[in-house]
Chains A and B, each alone.
Chain A
Amino acid sequence: MSRIIVVTSGKGGVGKTTTTSNLGAALAKQNRSVALIDADFGLRNLDLLLGLEERVVYTAIDVLAGECRLAQALVKDKRLKGLVLLPAAQNRNKESVNPEQMKKIATALAKGYDYILIDCPAGIELGFRNAISAANEALIVTTPEVAAVRDADRVIGLLEAEGVNKISLIVNRVKPLMVEENKMMSVEDVLELLGVPLIGVVPDDEKVIVATNKGEPLVLGEYESVPAQAYSNIARRLEGEKVPFLDLMANQGNLLSRLRRMFGG
């Protein structure tokens, strides 16, 4: 049975699209077939993050209008066997699709792929309802900041009300040094507040931005960076493997911070 998973957050800019693209690539690298759906109509970005923007011909709107077949609209990633993208229309707004239609598309794709990941737009309006309509699981992306956590809680409530009960949490952009200095909430803090199971922790890392610039998912990098490893681990946990969470602090080793730690700073 294939799994339809929506990647959502409530608050904008916390890393939904980054998560969708990197997790999709990580799953494909682990030999799963994956279809990514960009549900952010009017503000599509998933194609850019994947480096596939020049190969987009048709979009989900064309499929719905009967202008092309579903298979024709899918953009295949040449670097990763089994990874495809269904692009959103850029010149339309969110009102041009309804939840029923989104559900139809996602269910049709589910016949041919192990995973369907849906990149949800920010907010809790129609775009959100479209994106969650077909999902039976959700990944909540949040950062350890007050507004993001609050919105995440709201979205968890809405998902539960819609009967999406398999919900896991990804805490993105964690800054271990700030946490140690009690300037930022820890992953444990966020977990305690939100009360849903944790599936991933991704550090705030400039390599994420570099990868975005290149249009190259992190797991395709030459060596396995810490954020790449974080996404691979999420993919493995989705597959049911028990993988310990990364010790982000271990990678934070400048002299000053180590001294502070030694002196209980």
Chain B
Amino acid sequence: MLFPWNNNTDSRNHAKSRLKLIIAHDRASINPDMMEAMREEILDVVARYVEVDREEMQFSLSNDQRMTSLTANLPIRQIKRIGDLQEQLKENKSINLQKIEVVEFDQEAETNAKSK
């Protein structure tokens, strides 16, 4: 290596990214257990309507200036059929199924669903 001093670990950015996370948590005063519980509940609700990729999802607190926000990034595998929805929501009277648009599936999504 030509300039060995270039080879230092970037502890500055390490510190910064760790702090971003911990400060957001401190500000929201949400502990990891609460975060986890909240995550599961939100996922359950979303999963009634769409099939989400649990592996790929991201769920995080962040802050901009003195504002803290919760960001959920949930990649959707496929939209559920209206029939499935009706089935699942039998008990839930508060949701009006007429208002939910029926989404056409693309071919790929259909095959994926069958192959399972």
- The judgment on whether A and B are partners is yes
- Any chain A CB within 8 A of the CB of B22? yes
| Contact of A265 with B16 in the complex, beta carbons under 8 Å | no
- Any chain B CB within 8 A of the CB of A186? yes
- Return chain A residues, CB-CB under 8 Å to B26: 150, 153-154, 157
Residues 149-163 of A at the B interface (beta carbon under 8 Å): 149-150, 153-154, 157
Q: How far is the CB of A112 from chain B (nearest CB, A)?
A: 35
| Contact of B65 with A195 in the complex, beta carbons under 8 Å | yes
| Contact of A185 with B12 in the complex, beta carbons under 8 Å | yes
Cα–Cα, bound, A195→B63 (Å): 10
Cα–Cα, bound, A154→B25 (Å): 11
Cα–Cα, bound, A187→B11 (Å): 15
Of the listed stretches A17-25, A66-74, A133-141, A176-184, chain B binds A176-184
When A and B form their complex, which 3 residue pairs have the shortest distance between CB atoms, in order from nearest?
Answer: A195-B65, A182-B12, A195-B66
The main secondary structure of chain B at its interface with chain A is: helix
Residues of B within 8 A of A (CB): 3, 5-6, 8, 10-13, 15-16, 18-20, 22-23, 26-27, 63, 65-66
CB-defined A-B contacts under 8 Å, sample of 18: A146-B15, A149-B23, A150-B19, A150-B22, A150-B23, A150-B26, A153-B23, A157-B27, A183-B8, A184-B11, A184-B12, A193-B16, A195-B65, A195-B66, A260-B3, A260-B5, A265-B3, A265-B6
Cα–Cα, bound, A154→B15 (Å): 17
Indicate the size class of the contact surface on chain A: 20 to 34
| Contact of A183 with B23 in the complex, beta carbons under 8 Å | no
| Contact of A153 with B27 in the complex, beta carbons under 8 Å | yes
- Any chain B CB within 8 A of the CB of A263? yes
Having A184-B12, A189-B12, A264-B6, one finds 8 other A-B pairs with CB under 8 Å, namely A145-B15, A153-B27, A182-B10, A185-B15, A186-B12, A189-B15, A189-B16, A193-B19
Residue in B closest to A145 when the chains form the complex, CB atoms? B15
Cα–Cα, bound, A149→B15 (Å): 10
Which of A185, A186, A260 has most B Cβ within 10 Å?
A185
- Return chain A residues, CB-CB under 8 Å to B27: 153, 157
A-B contacts, CB under 8 A, total:
52
Cα–Cα, bound, A189→B14 (Å): 11
Q: How far is the CB of A42 from chain B (nearest CB, A)?
A: 28
Q: A170-202: contact bitstring with B at CB < 8 Å (1 yes, 0 no)?
A: 000000000101111110010001011000000
- Return chain B residues, CB-CB under 8 Å to A185: 12, 15-16
- Return chain B residues, CB-CB under 8 Å to A265: 3, 5-6
- Return chain A residues, CB-CB under 8 Å to B12: 179, 182-186, 189
- Return chain A residues, CB-CB under 8 Å to B15: 145-146, 184-185, 189
| Contact of A149 with B5 in the complex, beta carbons under 8 Å | no
Q: How far is the CB of B7 from chain A (nearest CB, A)?
A: 10
- Return chain A residues, CB-CB under 8 Å to B10: 182
Cα–Cα, bound, A149→B26 (Å): 12
Q: How far is the CB of B20 from chain A (nearest CB, A)?
A: 7
Cα–Cα, bound, A197→B113 (Å): 54
Cα–Cα, bound, A263→B3 (Å): 8
- Return chain A residues, CB-CB under 8 Å to B11: 182-184
| Contact of B22 with A182 in the complex, beta carbons under 8 Å | no
Cα–Cα, bound, A156→B90 (Å): 49
Cα–Cα, bound, A265→B1 (Å): 12
| Contact of A181 with B19 in the complex, beta carbons under 8 Å | no
Q: How far is the CB of A243 from chain B (nearest CB, A)?
A: 24
Cα–Cα, bound, A91→B8 (Å): 48
| Contact of A193 with B20 in the complex, beta carbons under 8 Å | yes
- Return chain B residues, CB-CB under 8 Å to A181: 5, 8
